[in-house]
A and B are shown apart, each in its own frame.
Chain A
Amino acid sequence: MEKMKIYINATTGISPQESFGATVYPESITQHPGNWFNSIEPDYDTIIDVKLIRRMSRIIKMGAAAALKCLQQAEIKMPDGIIVGTAYGCLQDTEIFLQRMIDYNEELLTPTAFIQSTHNTVGAQIALLLQCHHYNNTFVHKGFSFESALLDAIILLNENEMNNVLVGGVDELTNSSFDILSRFSLYKKSLPGNLYTSKTKGTIAGEGAFFFLLSNLAAKKNMAVLNAVDFFYKPQNSDIIADKINALLSSQGLSMNDIDVIITGRNGDINNDALYDTLEQTVFTGRTVINFKHLCGEYPTAGAYAVWMAALMLKEGKIPQALSSQKTGNEKIRTALVYNHYLNEHHSLFLLTAC
């Protein structure tokens, strides 16, 4: 029996790049000054019901708008399920709620920020907007949040429980989260000219909300095939990662020679980029490697940005000039591998091919 294919029927997202509604990868890169990349947000009033929008915080608006646009692109009104991955959840509302607890001495707490502060609010608001009473789940697993959501969708589609699932990865950056994470030296003190050659500690803070309409139905408009996803926690050395990559490719009857482009989560942090160096000198040798964290910054669900990028590239069959200084030839790219890790703890692999 032929293995069921999982297709990316449509995808879009809100990020520090002009990603919202893009049907091809943006040819120009939006540059952001500083060590903090904020998203380029659309006019939400034209996308979300004005009566509902007034109570939504920024991440809810970002998630809801990306989800609605994705469904619109897929020409699907009602998905069979909504699955969201988020590490931080609705930070802004959580901060408001906690601040009010302090300001009002734990008395007279208003309900809105509390209700909206839970991690599953984005998924719930999408369901409310669509009046969708189907499967709705949110995964909160740090750097595996998006990957877990994706895996859940793949399992449901493989079991034929559903045909069309809306899957997303969302995380926002706030003043407080930036300050707190800066104390853990996650971010660079200042932005270097070239993120990847800075040879300093820390990276750039980022955020984003991406949604994918995954389907097990073949359709002309499908953008790419999502062949496999794997994720693993704290591998002891690069050999283990290489083994994981080779095992993933073998499971799909592929070898590294079949991979046209590798998208890595290199982020300019000298502490964590050594792994990418090692892999590029060993298992990735001779392959075209591109990066994406200089576009969206670092955040726990950044893998969703890379998968969005891979889907658009596979649909077009080429790597946009803005993304690669390497000469890639005229041959159409048909296979993309994403390897990303968050803080060298959460490691993820995504394998995609053209339809």
Chain B
Amino acid sequence: MEKEKLLQDLKKKIIEKFNLKQQPADIGDDEPLFVEGVGLDSIDALELIVLLQQDYKIKLDNAEDGPKVFKSVSTMADYIIQHQDANV
């Protein structure tokens, strides 16, 4: 999937899933998703893992990769592209 489209897709899904007040354009591609950035927390991290699995059929095999994968929308998109390619 094209990264730009994926970024928009992820932003929409994050806003909807976490009931955020922002618009997709308000979330920067590299803005931290947790704490000082978008403001997600540890419970939301679990929701993101489920989102990856449900919507993109990608399982986060190593939980230690979480902070790196969920750093921003951009890192999430990269992980999805990389693993979707691997799945193909």
Task: Tell me whether A219 is interfacial, beta carbon within 8 Å.
Answer: no
Task: Tell me whether A184 is interfacial, beta carbon within 8 Å.
Answer: no
Inter-chain contact B50/A110, CB cutoff 8 Å: yes
Give the bracket for the number of chain B residues in contact with chain A: 10 to 19
Inter-chain contact A111/B19, CB cutoff 8 Å: no
Task: Tell me whether B18 is interfacial, beta carbon within 8 Å.
Answer: yes
A51 closest partner in B (C-beta): B39
A56 closest partner in B (C-beta): B19
Task: Tell me whether A54 is interfacial, beta carbon within 8 Å.
Answer: yes
Number of residue pairs spanning A and B whose beta carbons lie under 8 angstroms apart: 23
Instruction: Identify whether the interface residues of B are mostly helix, strand, loop, or mixed.
Output: helix
Inter-chain contact A110/B46, CB cutoff 8 Å: yes
Contacts of A29 in B (CB 8 A): none
Inter-chain contact A112/B43, CB cutoff 8 Å: yes
Bound-state CA distance A110–B20 (Å) is 17
Looking at the assembled complex, report how far the CB atom of B39 sits from the nearest CB atom of chain A, in whole angstroms: 6
Contact code string B38-57 (vs A, CB < 8 Å = 1, else 0): 01000100110010011000
Instruction: Identify whether the interface residues of A are mostly helix, strand, loop, or mixed.
Output: loop
Docked complex: A19-70 residues within 8 A CB-CB of B: 50-51, 54-55
Bound-state CA distance A80–B42 (Å) is 29
Bound-state CA distance A250–B20 (Å) is 56
Inter-chain contact B50/A54, CB cutoff 8 Å: no
Task: Tell me whether A1 is interfacial, beta carbon within 8 Å.
Answer: no
Looking at the assembled complex, report how far the CB atom of B81 sits from the nearest CB atom of chain A, in whole angstroms: 22
Contacts of B20 in A (CB 8 A): 54
Task: Tell me whether B5 is interfacial, beta carbon within 8 Å.
Answer: no
Number of A interface residues in the complex (CB < 8 A): 11
Contacts of A55 in B (CB 8 A): 18-19, 43
Bound-state CA distance A58–B50 (Å) is 24
Docked complex: B33-81 residues within 8 A CB-CB of A: 39, 43, 46-47, 50, 53-54
B20 closest partner in A (C-beta): A54
Inter-chain contact A104/B43, CB cutoff 8 Å: no
Docked complex: B1-48 residues within 8 A CB-CB of A: 18-21, 39, 43, 46-47
Given contacts A109-B50, A111-B47, could you give 15 more A-B pairs where the C-beta distance is less than 8 Å? A51-B39, A54-B19, A54-B20, A54-B21, A55-B18, A55-B43, A104-B54, A108-B50, A108-B53, A108-B54, A110-B46, A110-B50, A111-B46, A112-B47, A115-B43
Query: Which positions in A face B, CB cutoff 8 Å?
Result: 50-51, 54-55, 104, 108-112, 115
Query: Which positions in B face A, CB cutoff 8 Å?
Result: 18-21, 39, 43, 46-47, 50, 53-54
Q: List 16 A-B contacts (CB under 8 A).
A: A54-B19, A54-B20, A54-B21, A55-B18, A55-B19, A55-B43, A104-B54, A108-B50, A110-B46, A110-B47, A111-B43, A111-B46, A111-B47, A112-B43, A112-B47, A115-B43
